[in-house]
Amino acid sequence: MTSLVVDALRARIERASEAWREGDALDRSDTDLAVAVLLDALERGEVRAAERGSDGRWRAVHWVKAGIMLAFEVGDLVEMGHVEGSAFRFFDRHPFSIRDFTVEDRVRIVPGGSIIRRGAHVAAGVICLPPMLINLGSFVGANTTIDSHALVGTCAQVGERVHLSAGAQLGGVLEPANAAPVIIEDDVFIGGNCGVYEGTVVRRRAVLASGVILTRATPVYDLVRETVHRADGDEPLEIPEGAVVVPGARPVSSGWGAAQGLSLQTPIIVKYRDEHTDAAIALEPRLR
């Protein structure tokens, strides 16, 4: 898709989104077609819900999110099919069907109930272990593994060679609503039952140990650099490149909570990635 085609699509989406916000009548046929073109472009990776600028900062692409929101407005609730011989039936807005793959896509989708929704980009070499969900508008880079019961939320951006372990959750921009998607850069390892939400950015080669939870309100204490990483204004929480983060706690400092000896959950950076870390999280290449 050329830049001129992308610009034309953006203009169509923005016009329709403005009409929707102002309460004007939508050209439903044209908007439905624009949404379909957008979802196709997202699947091919030609447009994304967030982009990294030359300064290294990630910025949300707001017109893409607006186009996804329009799909809910123009989408009719339809039956998506059912499991033959059972009572299971599925219903959703018509733009949000399940993505269709062929073996030529070189994506391993292991049998067992995984779902990759329309408008999600999944690069060659990705492994999907059941059951897991890659939601609409998201981007998953080459040779990444999405393990069982893991979630890639709406518009989340996941880099190459990432390992998203069993039970890990990447929040989306729609559930609940957030301004910017979660960003996971290349070569990140996310342990089991982790949660990364509210537009948090995890820089390349970082490691989240099992059970780490990151949100905009989460302070992350860095024992190595003796600092605290926080979200600041419109800027998201960022986990530095190569940081190794484990679950921790800090005591409540005053009042009744202190008297009871209570603590608050606090992720802690205990080291930065080295050869010992690489050995501990190494995956068996032959399993790919």
**What are the φ/ψ torsions at residue 3 (nearest 5 degrees)?**
-65, -35
Q: Do domains 3-77 and 103-281 have the same CATH topology?
A: no
Strand partners, 51: 59
Contacting residues for 177 by C-beta, under 8 A, at least 6 apart: none
Q: Does the pLDDT at position 177 exceed 80?
A: no
User: Domain 3-77 falls in which CATH fold?
Assistant: 1.10.166
Return the exposure string of 78-105: e unless at least 16 CB atoms fall within 10 Å of the residue's CB, then b.
eeeeeeeeeeeeeebbbbbbebeeeeee
Architecture of domain 103-281: 3 Solenoid (2.160)
Q: Does the pLDDT at position 87 exceed 80?
A: no
Condensed to tens digits (0 to 9), the pLDDT of residues 47-64 reads 999 999 999 999 999 999
Residue 285: band (very low, low, confident or very high) from pLDDT cuts 50, 70, 90: low
The kind and range of the H/E element at 249 are strand 249-251
**What are the φ/ψ torsions at residue 255 (nearest 5 degrees)?**
75, -160
pLDDT (average), residues 179-191? 95
pTM: 0.93
Could you state, in order of their start, the residue ranges of all structural domains in the chain?
A: 3-77, 103-281
Give the pLDDT score at 22.
84
Give the pLDDT score at 148.
97
The CA distance from 152 to 288, in Å, is 20
Give the pLDDT score at 175.
65
Q: Does the pLDDT at position 83 exceed 70?
A: no
Give the pLDDT score at 149.
97
Condensed to tens digits (0 to 9), the pLDDT of residues 211-227 reads 999 999 999 999 999 99
Token reading at 144: 């990444």
Residue 284: band (very low, low, confident or very high) from pLDDT cuts 50, 70, 90: low
Give the pLDDT score at 88.
75
Residues above pLDDT 70, as percent of the chain? 95
pLDDT (average), residues 223-244? 96
Q: Does the pLDDT at position 187 exceed 80?
A: yes
Q: Does the pLDDT at position 287 exceed 80?
A: no
Query: What count of Cα atoms within 13 Å lies in the side-chain half-sphere of residue 287?
Result: 10
Give the pLDDT score at 283.
73
Contact 200, 239 (CB under 8 A): yes
Pairing of β 108-109 and β 133-134:
unpaired
Mean pLDDT of the chain: 93
pLDDT (average), residues 276-283? 84
Instruction: Report which of 13, 20, 28 is spatially closest to residue 61, judged by C-alpha positions.
Output: 13
Q: Does the pLDDT at position 170 exceed 90?
A: yes
Q: Does the pLDDT at position 43 exceed 80?
A: yes
Give the pLDDT score at 211.
97
Q: Which residue has the higher pLDDT, 269 or 99?
A: 269
Token reading at 69: 């929101």
Q: Which residue has the higher pLDDT, 117 or 21?
A: 117
Residue 147: band (very low, low, confident or very high) from pLDDT cuts 50, 70, 90: very high
Burial label for 7, CB within 10 Å (0-12, 13-18, 19+), is exposed
223: left (phi over 0), alpha (psi -120 to 50) or beta: alpha
